[in-house]
Amino acid sequence: MSLKADLTSTDLAEIRQSALGAADPLGIAAELAAAVDAGRLSDPDDAGPALVLAAEIAESRSKLDAGLRYVDRALETYGKSDDGPAAAARALRARLLFRAGREDEALAEIEPLRPLLTQDTEAPAYISVALAVGGRARLAEEWLTEAVQEVLAEREGPEPTSAEDAGLLFFLLQQRHRIRHALGRQHDTHDVLAERLETKLANANAQAAAAGSSDDLLFWPQAEFETLVTRFPALTEVYGADWDEHRARLERELVRRSGPDVVLVPGTVAGLEAAGDPSDAKTRADYVSASTDHISWPPERNSPCWCGSGNKYKKCCLPRSRG
């Protein structure tokens, strides 16, 4: 693949979507760096994000040295800036250092970012991911707990009732909850609040996704899929000839719609039949609209795939979108 002569921000977003599933992702990373060198970015401010993207691509192929070279160059372009993108790039650098076994350097990179936990809504995610990758989930838990307490102490009024209402606190609670599940902790009151806000947000997202009144994001788990197409063979036209094709179609549709609120609605044959005639498209759309069940997308590359196969997303449905 050869990149276009001049790269816009939209091009970069598209490359981000497609590069990891491409035949030669490292070639794309090298071309991104070359485009920066040659001044072939429509917006010079995209140099940092382009190099960060190159570093992430290299990381995805476990090319840690290349990843570090790209991220170092990204940090050079950010200069002394310590705003969100620069901080996220530092967290990426820490993650690469952890992966490369350079723990002390990784910690030295990540520790100065800690105050951002109570300032930047994206910090809880990139900091906890870096620490978890470095086998420091307990440290992440400690930092997040302290940040939650700090934000709660400053917060006035009643407990938040929605993710929007909670703001930064939501992102802290969410990451803390995730990390504590990974550590096998019992729920505490912060986790209970996190789960309540997460459920509310997920339901709102599922309703928003369903409001388009189509069954495009209706997902049939494997056993349900087999039952569905055995009983209603005509539906293979709609959902795919087999389960692999079904998942590939969904993954492509998810990539196409890609945004922070995309969710899948898992279906059951019994549920659909209760809603009416399964061969009727309107029945299926209504069934999706009425569902409060959801699967959020995309998972982390190394997390279990959304389809429930038990395989890592990067080895399961992520590559299907390229098929």
| Chain residues that interact with Zn ion, rule: CB under 5 A | 195, 305, 307, 309, 316-317
Output 195 or 226, the one with its CB closest to Zn ion. 195
Single-letter residue type at 181: H
Report in angstroms how near the CB of residue 317 gets to Zn ion at its nearest.
3
Report in angstroms how near the CB of residue 242 gets to Zn ion at its nearest.
14
109-118 long-range Cβ contacts below 8 angstroms, 24+ apart: 110/134, 113/87, 114/143, 116/87, 117/143, 117/144, 117/147, 117/172, 118/147, 118/150, 118/151, 118/168, 118/172
Output 195 or 286, the one with its CB closest to Zn ion. 195
Whether the CB-CB separation of 228 and 261 falls below 8 Å is answered with: no
* Cα 226 versus chain centre, distance: 29
Output 70 or 219, the one with its CB closest to Zn ion. 219
In angstroms, the CA 243 to CA 307 distance is 10
Report in angstroms how near the CB of residue 310 gets to Zn ion at its nearest.
9
Report in angstroms how near the CB of residue 318 gets to Zn ion at its nearest.
8
Output 126 or 219, the one with its CB closest to Zn ion. 219
Report in angstroms how near the CB of residue 67 gets to Zn ion at its nearest.
25
Output 77 or 321, the one with its CB closest to Zn ion. 321
Output 63 or 180, the one with its CB closest to Zn ion. 180
Whether the CB-CB separation of 222 and 298 falls below 8 Å is answered with: no
The CA dihedral of 298, 300, 303, 308, to the nearest 10 degrees, is 0
In angstroms, the CA 16 to CA 50 distance is 9
DSSP 3-state assignment of 116? helix
Report in angstroms how near the CB of residue 95 gets to Zn ion at its nearest.
24
Burial annotation 240-278 (CB, 10 A radius, 16+ → b, else e) = beebeebbbbbbebbbeeeeeebbbbbbbbeebeebeeb
Q: DSSP character for 159? A: P
Report in angstroms how near the CB of residue 112 gets to Zn ion at its nearest.
30
Output 124 or 278, the one with its CB closest to Zn ion. 124
Output 33 or 193, the one with its CB closest to Zn ion. 193
In angstroms, the CA 286 to CA 18 distance is 32
Cα→Cα distances 148→29, 119, 142, 155, 200, Å: 37, 12, 10, 10, 19
Single-letter residue type at 260: P
Report in angstroms how near the CB of residue 304 gets to Zn ion at its nearest.
8
